[in-house]
Structure 1
Amino acid sequence: MDASFIPIPKIINGGIAGIVGVTCVFPIDLVKTRLQNQQVLPNGKPMYSSLIDCASKTLKNEGFFGMYRGSGVNLLLITPEKVIKLVGNDFFRHILKNDKNKLTLPREVLAGGGAGLFQIVATTPMELLKIQLQDAGRSASVDKTAGAEGAVKPQKLSATKIALDLFREKGILGIYKGFRATMLRDVTFSAMYFPLFAHLNAMGKRREGSDQAVFYHSFISGLSAGCVASFSVTPFDVVKTRLQTLHKGAGEQSYNGIVDCFRKVYMLEGPKAFFKGAFCRVLVIAPLFGIAQTVYYLGIAERLLAAVGYETQ
């Protein structure tokens, strides 16, 4: 990173990176949420047998746009989320450098963890609202299979309605349900991801006239670091998803906090349940961060700002 820290172009790049990345991988994220939430039905079988089975059933029952259920709130909040994560990591790396302008590994981990900690301000409500919209079709199908009353099609929901209902019932804390589980996942992920990405990215060929890696190496570095970190924190993501799901299907378990969720999932579904949707999560997070890091480091904002005369150096 440069000796000086200029936030404006980094903020713009972070926002662009988030929007591009989410648009590309959102359907896989929806499948991941449904796989993580599904429990064994009364007939002893799960609703979805695999990633492909879940995707095909969702596409058949809810159409193409059903695969993007909940994407609106994600696109709205992904800008501040990615800005905080990417720019926050750069900022912490900047201020934690030692007298020799170097970062030790513990400080790299601290910088990444700090970025993950601050991002939950935007991530928690984004994830909470997104999960309700993504999971509506699955929970409605569970109700139907169990013989519960309800329509065949998922209930018409909107992020605004869900947020207002939560705010009226529980105040501002209503939209921050599951923030501890979100913090557990995101701090751990960022503490792993960013140091790994930085070391992998430092090995690549540099762009001509720049200290930044060529775009394809940044993509591969983000992809690789995203694979390792996303798979490693999948158990935390499963627990977070379960805790943030407000409407359970008929006969499905409810949980009283992180410890209770870990205990019930382990006792009733076994240790493998903590890795439900792990492959989907890797398919979401790895390309998401590969794309996001590439866009972030391409310097799109610097070029736009230079065109209007803004000094970025």
Structure 2
Amino acid sequence: MCCCVLGQDTSPSLPLVLLLTLVNVWWWSEGLPAKLINGGIAGLIGVTCVFPIDLAKTRLQNQQNGSRLYTSMSDCLIKTIRSEGYFGMYRGAAVNLTLVTPEKAIKLAANDFFRHHLSKDGKLTLFKEMLAGCGAGTCQVIVTTPMEMLKIQLQDAGRIAAQRKLMPETVAAGSVETKSPTAMQLTRQLLREKGIAGLYKGLGATLLRDVPFSIIYFPLFANLNNFGKRGIEGPAPFYVSFISGCLAGSTAAVAVNPVDVIKTRLQSLNRGSTEDTYSGVTDCISKIMRNEGPAAFLKGAYCRALVIAPLFGIAQVVYFLGVGEFLLSFLPKKDN
């Protein structure tokens, strides 16, 4: 699946192959195939439902003072449809749909794995719940970073094109790209110019976002889910899992939004001549504070909450309903 995006060169996919191999060895006896299916189905459904909002989030976060094209999420989506058509709202969706399966599967399965091995007599302290979330967030970035690196370029291409049309003076000198590149073209260009490091630009910022997100999300979800099933034996009802996933996801999303703004800025390759460029996390923070003020770190926060809430609500429902287990039950079982 990874090769669809990474092209013919197999070396960029080596870390993912090694990770999945280790995961397979460790977790096969604990139902990894079902977890992969659950995470994949949840990711595909969620991305399809909320991707236009995610596109608006990326474009709003990348706007800087003096080059604002959109005033709000709805304004962004309306202008996108007018200038790029309905499917313009799904720029970059193919990358997400390709890589969201391993990303969500790794995230959910890793959290399950760490919770299992950190628990004592089936119980976890809050600290160990946070530790399990930390492990899950760390594992997922091996897929998340290149996925979002490519997705952001495709999502923001429409904003750059609109700038060139409405404000040609804001286009950086020497920038002659007139047609939006495909994910394959971007991948080949990054690998040719910068090697595997090109796909992992913003890795540090991604870790700074996803690790705290998981530390907040997974313990909060587990406790909300347990609270909602008081007096009920077995798994929580699907609506409890959905509401818990939505509440925990939106809370964690807003909490880490400042880092998401930084990550989006660092991973954006194309900018107008009046827009700042950044050499790293600290440089990005200082320039945003100096030129745009603290409020800039909240750009796209409500969009991100609207994306993450249903995304993780759906994920947890699929996960807890055991869709993967149900599908695998039709396969013939091996004789011992």
What range describes the TM-score normalised by the shorter chain of this pair? over 0.9
- 1:307 and 2:330 equivalent? yes
Q: Determine the structure 2 residue equivalent to 1:81.
A: 103
Alpha-carbon distance, 1:269 to partner:
0.3
In the alignment, is the contact (CA less than 8 A) between 1:113 and 1:188 conserved in 2?
yes
Q: Which runs of 5+ in 1 are unaligned?
A: none
Superposition pairs for residues 59-208 of structure 1, below 5 Å? 59-98=81-120, 100-148=121-169, 155-205=179-229
- The 5 A counterparts of 1:1-80 are 5-41=30-66, 46-80=68-102
Pairwise CA distance, 1:80: 0.6
How far, CA to CA, are the matches of 2:278 and 2:62 in structure 1?
12
Q: CA deviation at 1:292?
A: 1.0
Q: Tell me the number of residue pairs that the alignment of Structure 1 and Structure 2 aligns.
A: 303
Structure 2 residues not aligned, in runs of 5+ = 1-28
Partner of 2:305: 282
CA distance in 1, matches of 2:274, 2:190: 23
Q: 1:303 to 1:154 in 2, by over 3 A?
A: farther
Equivalent residue for 2:250, pick from 209, 227, 234: 227
CA 1:105–1:310 in 2, change beyond 3 Å: closer, same or farther? farther
TM-score (norm 1): 0.92
CA apart distance, 1:206: 7.7
Partner in structure 1 of residue 25 of structure 2: none
CA distances 1:92-148 after superposition (whole Å, capped 9, x unpaired): 0001112x2211111100100110001000000000000000000101222333324
SS in 2 for 1:39: coil
Matched, 1:214 2:259: no
- Residue identity in the other structure for 2:108: L
Could you tell me how far apart the structure 1 residues matched to 2:168 and 2:103 are? 40
Tell me which of 257, 260, 268 is aligned to 2:283.
260
Q: How far has the Cα of 1:307 moved from its partner?
A: 1.7
* CA RMSD in angstroms, aligned pairs only: 2.1
Residue identity over aligned pairs, in percent, reads 58
Q: What does residue 272 of structure 2 align with?
A: 249
